A and B are shown apart, each in its own frame.
Chain A
């Protein structure tokens, strides 16, 4: 300690001692010292010079010491050196003090800082003013109410008109941040006058200030196109700024305001031209900058491809680009590929396909396939390029090529089948399920052109049980196709595969698909042929565009993290869920509502490609005898792709798994309506199946390609949520997790979601999630509503579903007879409800047996005047008893339900009972 030299007079000796004690290592000593200081303070001695030392003592767990320190702080906050420094003649010191003040994040103390801050906001030195502006934002974070009460927001607004551009920029930045958490989002009050001030300041302030101002401008909605144009004109010079952040912020403003300009005006066209050079310039930076730029350009290209359509060359890959830059460039190249430049693009892609990096090569091969599908004129060249690549025999290249060739076959049927022979040569080298499945599909689809198709398919059959499900299913269908085309030679083969699929397989999907084919083939081969070999719908070109509304939102966030992740900010910024989303401005005025933008339709999935094996063009089923209303156009039955064509959530008859059972249901509903397409024998199949209702909870379009359908069930006394996840996006999905919101029954998952392998595109996975009811309870409306969040590597998705009450019926729901009688009488009449069940033709014993299977127990049975009376009880997991009386007269069963606690449960009981009885009925008929 050399501080002693500062203390020259004896008078300060005491202070010096205190100082030493305050810095003592022992906690006790420090406490004593603080007490002495307080004592000195109380008697009126000036101990303010000890401020830093006392503040030091604040770092303690000792409450007593802490309180003492606060006592001191309260007293001296006003004479705090910071406050006095705010009056210092040197503006640097004033600014430093104001800056530091904002960093003391103690609520009480900030009160003393209001006065100095107010002075600093009006300081004559701009350096102080700009620092004070930021300080308001700091203060708002600590105590928002106070900032408002003290009128600091108004002072900030005044600073927008400041003469110094730096002050303006900081005021804008502070106001922007405050308005994000402020209920009154129009805090910034953007009006033409203010905008004009901002534009003036824009030319003069530092590059960083320009970013604040441009970001703020992008939130402004000009009232007409003239205003939009004049703002654009003043922002355009920023495009040639050396700082790429400034450039991108300017691009954001222009992209937004372009919406407002008439598309045929000269200015619109010039502006589009001006946008391209700066975007190209961004690509000359470091790889990090390039990556960020490319992610943004990816958005811009999707929104307005015309901006960069001439510049495809700059997206050609350099050999020394890092791989993440290469992949992004490739993506943009495909988006920009057109008839005009396809030759160049293709030449490039071919080069890339011989590079070293496996991921990159795969993507390049896939890109060639996409070119073929996108630009019809180039398809032939693409195919020959792919053939060249197959000749290289590089394993992963061949496999990737075969997968894309299958897609090309789908897009241009009966054009390139001559190459099949070449493909078949590579059969043995395929080891990835995707490629094997693609190859098998090709062989099955074109079996009539391949002489040895049966041998080829037979060779796959040897290791049938070691194949992945995808390959097994494809193989099954391919052999059935083969059989239908060449029935004479392949009878044995089809027998073999059907028995492998139905008898030796544990996979219900496979087994059931096998059964369907078997029945179809044995019942009516002509129909089978019509069904299995029906015409397939063509596939579409753009499959991985961002959904237009999301794209528009992301355009509003150009240059921000959101544009890099391609996710809206509320998906990753904490606490921003309540914030209103940004929208592109809508053109208004004379031209009326904006014409629909000419954008390619987005197909959320490529679903029809992979699992698609037989395509039935069924009309909407007539006379659907079920609770659900099905809307079906062309139904891709086996691919599980039913839903991609259906807008509303639909209900599919389903056991625990997804996919093929749609067929039965559709066929079934058809058979009821008309002449027997399917024999009664076939219907008996249904009896084997444990039907329940599977519902699409989360359609793929709402969850970036993830589709979740599911149902609840109760098995062996445990509750399960049986779900089927289907990946309809182009990328694989990993890192699944699930979470329930609080719900009426306190239902939570017992185990985490067990999805261990990545879900590849077009695959689906079935999950049984065990549940229990020990979670937090919150009453929902309706009572059985459950809100679920599912996360994967792409995003977090939310949906809600209704839990069928029946899964809460516990096994020990059988009430003692005596208790039942007593309770029944005690329940007041207002807790009683009555229902009629129509069209039930069961006798009492059958009903009671079937209800018992669902944990509804019959306590007693009486026969009164020819009517059977059943007295039943059930218990919910939360201990609520429900008692019921079932009166059965032929054709008119009548349910009286009472419960012991809460009558509100009852309304939900009705559909449950209805379902149970109806289902049993249905089973009985089949």
Chain B
């Protein structure tokens, strides 16, 4: 059972504080803040604090950090931390749905709304509901939007669902817009379907792929006020499960998938059609994994050179990180294009090579010379493995495609449907 929920800024200001069970006072927040700021990077997020402090004996805090804010819950009993983490993530997502964006400013402006949300979401520490469909019946307060919305900012490539380690990729403005629940405003007829894949690859020093995983998800963000049913058709040749025999065809495979609970699967087995009544707001419709045995070769190779074997596409914001022997003092470089850059990060014992734009099918090469005083054979062992970060828009590694996207009843006026694909690197490692 959740005892309290609070939202703090990174500097410790209270934005939201709600007590559900009266088990602890407001000063628990300070205890939490002290504990969380004392956490070094290598400590896990489920914090237990206050064993010594009499007033907070046995107080447990669980928190997530989103939008530069701490979203924390405290408890005195033995609840499931998954439930709490999941709930806090959901709360943050809902706040984003309702307020447009997730920032200190938007939370401050909409505090009444968030209190109202919390009130409906949690009763006496029991989570009641987090679905926007349910909640919209109860919420009376109106959103205060921090900036006017403009549809013309859509050009950006970044997708809303794509939380990458490259924070440079800004989410597109199209999706940072509050939901208009009560009135069907103009410009509200949009639906976005994003297919996002995250790729984890380990390539051995001999070029053999040692491990390759894809974690994918299909996310829907819906602004349509009255959409009763949406049908998403996926590749018809889609096989699920490891054991299924597969022919030589171009079937798309995945090992395991899970669905949002609102998804109706009656046509999935036969026609690979997902039926869903999308609630307004953002939701993950389907998640899937594929381990090993990728349908296509991994997008990057690196021997002494980096090699790409993907046609007609572009990779963005590629960055290559190479651990180097400690004590390296200087770096000289030969890069193939002026917009690339390489720098020596002596603090992390690493060399970082950034390639802002990497055309498909191209080969880039770079030669780095490091000066290491007192180099020994052992220092060479400290080199590598190389890790790559990148983003491949308009591409899925599994080959999953959305064949069609149909809405019923047919939307009046011009409803806009967007289907977008992206693949991110999660952990792409090449050993040397």
Residues of A within 8 A of B (CB): 92, 99, 102-103, 105, 130-131, 134-135, 137-138, 141, 166, 170, 173-174, 177, 206-208, 211-212, 215, 240-245, 248-249, 277-278, 280-281, 284, 286-289, 291-293, 313-314, 316, 318-324, 344, 347, 351, 354-357, 359, 391-394, 557, 559-562, 564-565, 569, 572-574, 576
Asked, given contacts A284-B289, A324-B44, A573-B76, whether A177 binds B260 with beta carbons under 8 Å apart, the answer is no
| C-alpha spacing A573/B3, complex, angstroms | 13
| Other A-B pairs, 15, CB within 8 Å; known A138-B124, A206-B128 | A208-B87, A242-B258, A277-B256, A281-B287, A286-B85, A289-B82, A293-B82, A313-B211, A314-B291, A316-B202, A316-B211, A322-B42, A351-B385, A357-B42, A560-B78
| C-alpha spacing A377/B182, complex, angstroms | 69
Asked, given contacts A99-B123, A393-B378, A572-B48, whether A288 binds B85 with beta carbons under 8 Å apart, the answer is yes
Q: Is B96 an interface residue (CB 8 A)?
A: no
Cβ-defined contact, A244 with B86, below 8 A: yes
With a CB–CB cut-off of 8 A, which chain A residues contact B81? Answer: 292, 559-561, 564
A569 is contacted by which of B78, B210, B385 (Cβ under 8 Å)?
A: B78
- For A166, A288, A356, the residue with the greatest tally of chain B CB atoms inside 10 Å of its CB is A288
With a CB–CB cut-off of 8 A, which chain B residues contact A170? Answer: 123, 126, 128
With a CB–CB cut-off of 8 A, which chain B residues contact A278? Answer: 256, 258
State how many angstroms separate the Cβ of B276 from the closest Cβ of chain A.
Answer: 12
B83 is contacted by which of A130, A131, A208, A323 (Cβ under 8 Å)?
A: A208
Asked, given contacts A130-B128, A359-B42, A557-B78, whether A318 binds B381 with beta carbons under 8 Å apart, the answer is no
Q: Is B22 an interface residue (CB 8 A)?
A: yes
- For A102, A135, A242, A291, the residue with the greatest tally of chain B CB atoms inside 10 Å of its CB is A242
- Of residues 356 to 389 in B, which have CB atoms within 8 Å of A's CB atoms? 376-378, 381-382, 384-385, 387
| C-alpha spacing A134/B126, complex, angstroms | 8
State how many angstroms separate the Cβ of B261 from the closest Cβ of chain A.
Answer: 6
Q: Is B415 an interface residue (CB 8 A)?
A: no
| C-alpha spacing A138/B22, complex, angstroms | 10
With a CB–CB cut-off of 8 A, which chain A residues contact B124? Answer: 102, 134-135, 137-138
- Of residues 12 to 68 in B, which have CB atoms within 8 Å of A's CB atoms? 21-22, 41-46, 48, 51, 57-58, 60, 64
With a CB–CB cut-off of 8 A, which chain B residues contact A131? Answer: 123
Cβ-defined contact, B378 with A241, below 8 A: no
State how many angstroms separate the Cβ of B62 from the closest Cβ of chain A.
Answer: 8
With a CB–CB cut-off of 8 A, which chain A residues contact B337? Answer: none
| C-alpha spacing A520/B138, complex, angstroms | 86
- Of residues 201 to 216 in B, which have CB atoms within 8 Å of A's CB atoms? 202, 204, 210-211, 213, 215
- Of residues 121 to 145 in B, which have CB atoms within 8 Å of A's CB atoms? 123-124, 126-131, 134, 137-138
| C-alpha spacing A211/B83, complex, angstroms | 8
| C-alpha spacing A562/B79, complex, angstroms | 9
State how many angstroms separate the Cβ of B24 from the closest Cβ of chain A.
Answer: 11
Cβ-defined contact, B129 with A208, below 8 A: yes
State how many angstroms separate the Cβ of B165 from the closest Cβ of chain A.
Answer: 6
Q: Is B346 an interface residue (CB 8 A)?
A: no
State how many angstroms separate the Cβ of A70 from the closest Cβ of chain B.
Answer: 19
What 10 pairs between A and B have smallest CB-CB spacing?
A318-B427, A323-B42, A245-B82, A245-B83, A392-B378, A208-B127, A574-B58, A324-B44, A569-B78, A288-B45
Cβ-defined contact, B82 with A292, below 8 A: yes
| 16 pairs, A vs B, C-beta closer than 8 Å | A137-B124, A170-B126, A206-B129, A249-B80, A277-B255, A278-B256, A288-B64, A291-B45, A292-B82, A319-B427, A319-B429, A324-B42, A356-B323, A559-B83, A561-B80, A564-B44
Q: Is B348 an interface residue (CB 8 A)?
A: yes
| C-alpha spacing A249/B79, complex, angstroms | 11
Cβ-defined contact, A320 with B126, below 8 A: no
Q: Is B6 an interface residue (CB 8 A)?
A: no
Q: How many A-B residue pairs have CB under 8 A?
A: 188
State how many angstroms separate the Cβ of B11 from the closest Cβ of chain A.
Answer: 22
Q: Is B149 an interface residue (CB 8 A)?
A: no
With a CB–CB cut-off of 8 A, which chain A residues contact B258? Answer: 240-242, 278, 281
Cβ-defined contact, B78 with A318, below 8 A: no
Q: Is B349 an interface residue (CB 8 A)?
A: yes
| C-alpha spacing A313/B290, complex, angstroms | 13
Cβ-defined contact, A242 with B78, below 8 A: no
State how many angstroms separate the Cβ of A164 from the closest Cβ of chain B.
Answer: 13
Q: Is B431 an interface residue (CB 8 A)?
A: yes
A289 is contacted by which of B85, B198, B261, B291 (Cβ under 8 Å)?
A: B85
With a CB–CB cut-off of 8 A, which chain B residues contact A559? Answer: 80-83
Chain B residue with Cβ nearest A170: B126
Cβ-defined contact, B289 with A280, below 8 A: yes
CB-defined interface of B240-273 with A at 8 Å, one 1/0 digit per residue? 0000000000000001111111000000000000
| C-alpha spacing A660/B16, complex, angstroms | 61
| C-alpha spacing A170/B128, complex, angstroms | 8
With a CB–CB cut-off of 8 A, which chain A residues contact B256? Answer: 240, 277-278, 280-281
With a CB–CB cut-off of 8 A, which chain B residues contact A357? Answer: 42
| C-alpha spacing A32/B96, complex, angstroms | 49
Cβ-defined contact, B211 with A244, below 8 A: no
| C-alpha spacing A810/B77, complex, angstroms | 48
With a CB–CB cut-off of 8 A, which chain B residues contact A318? Answer: 200, 426-427, 429
State how many angstroms separate the Cβ of A270 from the closest Cβ of chain B.
Answer: 12
With a CB–CB cut-off of 8 A, which chain B residues contact A277? Answer: 255-256
Chain B residue with Cβ nearest A99: B123
Chain B residue with Cβ nearest A100: B119
CB-defined interface of B136-173 with A at 8 Å, one 1/0 digit per residue? 01100000000000000000000000000100000000
Asked, given contacts A322-B42, A391-B378, whether A351 binds B431 with beta carbons under 8 Å apart, the answer is yes
Cβ-defined contact, A291 with B46, below 8 A: yes
With a CB–CB cut-off of 8 A, which chain A residues contact B127? Answer: 208, 211
State how many angstroms separate the Cβ of A580 from the closest Cβ of chain B.
Answer: 14
Chain A residue with Cβ nearest B384: A354
Q: Is B1 an interface residue (CB 8 A)?
A: yes
- For A105, A249, A357, A573, the residue with the greatest tally of chain B CB atoms inside 10 Å of its CB is A573
Chain A residue with Cβ nearest B20: A103
B378 is contacted by which of A249, A359, A394 (Cβ under 8 Å)?
A: A394
Q: Is B235 an interface residue (CB 8 A)?
A: no
Asked, given contacts A313-B291, A319-B429, A561-B79, whether A284 binds B215 with beta carbons under 8 Å apart, the answer is yes
With a CB–CB cut-off of 8 A, which chain A residues contact B21? Answer: 141
Asked, given contacts A211-B80, A351-B431, whether A324 binds B291 with beta carbons under 8 Å apart, the answer is no
Chain A residue with Cβ nearest B383: A354
Cβ-defined contact, B43 with A208, below 8 A: no
Cβ-defined contact, B123 with A134, below 8 A: yes
State how many angstroms separate the Cβ of A759 from the closest Cβ of chain B.
Answer: 19
With a CB–CB cut-off of 8 A, which chain B residues contact A138? Answer: 124
With a CB–CB cut-off of 8 A, which chain B residues contact A320? Answer: 165, 387, 426-427
With a CB–CB cut-off of 8 A, which chain A residues contact B9? Answer: none
Chain A residue with Cβ nearest B198: A284
Q: Is B284 an interface residue (CB 8 A)?
A: yes
Cβ-defined contact, B426 with A245, below 8 A: no
| C-alpha spacing A24/B119, complex, angstroms | 31
CB-defined interface of B67-94 with A at 8 Å, one 1/0 digit per residue? 0000000011111111101110100000
A574 is contacted by which of B45, B76, B80, B378 (Cβ under 8 Å)?
A: B76
Cβ-defined contact, B45 with A287, below 8 A: yes
With a CB–CB cut-off of 8 A, which chain A residues contact B129? Answer: 166, 206, 208
Q: Is B292 an interface residue (CB 8 A)?
A: yes
With a CB–CB cut-off of 8 A, which chain A residues contact B382? Answer: 354, 392, 394
Asked, given contacts A131-B123, A207-B261, A391-B378, whether A286 binds B291 with beta carbons under 8 Å apart, the answer is no
